Structure formats: structure tokens, C-alpha cells
């Protein structure tokens, strides 16, 4: 996948944001990919055969303890301040027309906090339509391009 910093290998990832993007763009059946080292991608494919094991309560609890041990607390301050996150997307229609784009921004945790606070502030300062809305329906499709330290490009 062609990210701003170079091509990377990735796997499809069941991300809830894909559903909401389909609601706001009327483009259903989206797929999102997460980049990771090839070893982890192959490992994920192999875990499909281990699904019955994941259903075992003792195994699931042991796995949960390991996740808490290694992943709790989130990123360190250095990662929050210096790491970047990148997204790449491509969409096509039945006529075969395609558009692609990428986005680069601050660490994904920082990006999430910053954009959540911006949206909350927007809701406090403006009269907004009640009911379900995706972020782009509320803030506009160019919301990320207006965020500080975020670069977007379409091609």
C-alpha cells in the first residue's frame, strides 16, 4: 500500500469506522487495512484455525492478562510527541472510476484526542442537528485537512 513514507504490507482489519464512512459517503462494503510486519500478518491468518481455542475461558483470560501486561498504559510520552500516523484509502464505483488519498498526522492517540476535543467544542459552540451523525456529516468532509499538523492528499 502506498503510504506517504513509502510502500507497506498490510492486512484487512475489521474497523468500525469503515461502517460509518459508508453511511456518510453512501459507499458501502469498505475495507480498511492495517500495516504490520509480514510475520504478524501471517500469524493473524493462522489464528483463524485457533478460533475454538480463543473461545476457551481459561485461554481467553490468560491472553487478556498478557495483553494487559504488554499493552496497558498506552504509548510513552516520546511516542505521543514524535510518532506519526498514516492512512491510505482508495474508493471505486461500478463504472470503474477510482480515487485514492492519504493522510499523515500526529500519533494516533494524540490525533484521536485532538479531534474528539475539537468536535466536542464545535458541538458546544454551535447548534447542531440532533440524532446520529458521522464525524464528516457533522464537521464536513474536509475536517481532517483543517486539523493542525495533518496533511491530506488525493490522487
* pLDDT tens sequence across 68-110: 988 888 888 999 999 998 888 888 888 888 888 899 999 999 9
Residue 138's closest CA among 113, 111, 120, 114? 120
Question: Tell me, what's the pLDDT at 104?
Answer: 92
- pLDDT, tens digit, 9 for 90 and up, residues 21-45: 788 888 777 777 778 888 888 888 8
* pLDDT for 13 beyond 90: no
Amino acid at each position: 500500500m502506498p503510504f506517504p513514507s513509502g510502500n507497506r504490507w498490510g492486512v484487512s482489519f475489521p474497523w468500525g469506522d469503515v461502517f460509518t464512512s459508508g453511511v456518510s459517503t453512501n459507499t458501502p462494503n469498505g475495507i480498511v487495512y492495517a500495516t504490520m510486519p509480514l510475520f504478524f500478518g501471517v500469524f493473524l491468518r493462522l489464528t483463524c484455525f485457533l478460533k475454538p481455542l480463543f473461545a476457551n475461558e481459561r485461554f481467553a483470560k490468560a491472553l487478556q492478562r498478557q495483553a494487559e501486561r504488554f499493552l496497558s498504559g498506552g504509548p510513552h510520552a516520546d511516542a505521543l510527541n514524535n510518532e506519526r500516523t498514516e492512512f491510505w484509502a482508495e474508493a471505486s464505483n461500478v463504472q470503474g472510476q477510482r480515487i485514492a488519498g492519504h493522510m499523515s498526522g500526529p500519533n494516533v492517540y494524540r490525533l484521536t484526542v485532538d479531534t474528539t476535543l475539537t468536535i466536542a467544542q464545535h458541538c458546544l459552540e454551535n447548534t447542531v442537528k440532533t440524532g446520529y451523525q458521522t464525524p464528516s456529516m457533522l464537521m464536513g468532509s474536509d475536517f481532517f485537512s483543517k486539523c493542525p499538523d495533518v496533511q491530506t492528499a488525493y490522487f
